[in-house]
A = this chain, B = another copy of it.
Amino acid sequence: MRFFSDNAAPAHPKVLEAIVAADKVDAAYDGDAWSQRLDGAFSDLFGTEARAFWVTTGTAANCLALAALCPPYRAILCHRDAHIEVDEAGAPGFFTGGAKLVLLEGAGAKVTPETVAAACDRIRNDVHQVQPAALSITNATEYGLVYRAGEVATLGKLAKERGLSFHMDGARLANALAATGENLADVTWRAGIDAVSFGFVKNGGLNAECMILFRTELADEIAVRRKRSGHLLSKGRYLAAQILALLEDDLWLQNARAANAAARTLAQAAPQRLVYPVEANEVFLNVSTAEADRLRVEGFDFYDWGPGEIRLVTSWDQQGEPLERLAAAIAAL
């Protein structure tokens, strides 16, 4: 059974239904009725004017935002374990035209005001060193930790003081919000976020992600960059329809709650093995190679994450028997 990533989970039935329902002739690109509803839908959801850009990958969402927020000759601050640094094949360098990632340390892939300030202070303010232009955080982090609204706001304030734009990789933003129950606006634009990559694929979507832009004056540039990078699909309605389906009746939140609940079930099976507190839908466990092998023999599929450590990721569709079986197997190790 798959626990290696939520990014391979099935699409939610309502998403499939929405795709089928969108299978009619309409305008091309993002001129269709579904795509045209997105700006309004997200502006309502966030409670502020926002511009929404569907894309098909988190990498595209992240890097379109970063390209607009950081010129080629400046730098983006991010955690050393951030997805944009570790798992996007250098896409930020490609999209920005050569901007640099300056890497921050921090437990659980979390960025703190201290690490940001220290990184800025280390950079001499002259023409020889690459000056920072943006800060990017991931929420929930790559280790499943969740930034509270207050934490984001503190970082946002610092970013502003330092002249940095502020981006959030929200591949698992739904899980973060489901964890804290906090308000979407508080965790994003009210906390100073300029653009957020709002993940849907890991949360019931089929292949639609969405980049939400609060600095709406950058919308035209991003629209061009999306086209120019090959991310303006001609039948955009099939992407927009997925997103709208997930927004309806807060299905995105329900899905995230289910995934988080599944992670809690696993966490509770062996609290003493937890590498990080389980806040969202990722569970990192201290497990020996032999123990990991045993779990695999029982049919569970997951990644090793450094020596003596494994990663389990749950998704919206995981509950009931197989999940309980894994919990039991972990408890029995």
Q: Which residues of A contact B (CB under 8 A)?
A: 2, 4-5, 7-11, 16, 19-20, 23-29, 32, 55-57, 59-60, 63, 71-75, 86-91, 93-101, 127-131, 201-202, 206-207, 221, 223-235, 238-239
Q: Which residues of B contact A26 (CB under 8 A)?
A: 8
A207–B99 alpha-carbon span in the complex (Å): 28
Q: Quick check: B234 and A201 within 8 Å, CB to CB? A: yes
Q: Which residues of B contact A230 (CB under 8 A)?
A: 55-57, 59-60, 63, 88, 91, 95, 229, 231
Each complex incorporates copies of this chain amounting to 4
Q: Which of A5, A7, A72, A89 has the most CB of B within 10 A?
A: A89
Q: Given known contacts A10-B23, A231-B57, A238-B206, is B63 in contact with A90 (CB within 8 Å)?
A: no
Q: Which residues of B contact A71 (CB under 8 A)?
A: 221
Q: Quick check: A91 and B11 within 8 Å, CB to CB? A: no
Q: Which residues of B contact A234 (CB under 8 A)?
A: 5, 7-8, 57, 201-202
Q: Which residues of B contact A235 (CB under 8 A)?
A: 7-8, 11, 201, 206-207
A25–B129 alpha-carbon span in the complex (Å): 24
A86 to chain B, nearest CB (A): 7
Q: Quick check: A88 and B227 within 8 Å, CB to CB? A: yes
A28–B11 alpha-carbon span in the complex (Å): 13
Q: Determine which of B24, B60, B206, B228 lies in contact with A94 in the assembled complex, contact meaning CB atoms within 8 Å.
A: B228
A155–B44 alpha-carbon span in the complex (Å): 46
A97–B231 alpha-carbon span in the complex (Å): 17
A24–B1 alpha-carbon span in the complex (Å): 12
16 additional contacts (CB under 8 A) given A96-B98, A127-B224: A2-B25, A5-B28, A8-B32, A11-B23, A19-B19, A56-B56, A72-B97, A88-B128, A89-B128, A93-B99, A94-B97, A127-B223, A127-B227, A201-B233, A207-B238, A229-B229
Closest to A1 in B: B25
Q: Which residues of B contact A63 (CB under 8 A)?
A: 230
Q: Which residues of B contact A74 (CB under 8 A)?
A: 90
Q: Which of A4, A24, A32, A128 has the most CB of B within 10 A?
A: A128
Closest to A13 in B: B23
Q: Which residues of B contact A89 (CB under 8 A)?
A: 73, 127-130, 224, 227-228
Q: Quick check: B228 and A90 within 8 Å, CB to CB? A: yes
A55 to chain B, nearest CB (A): 7
Q: Which residues of B contact A59 (CB under 8 A)?
A: 227, 230, 232
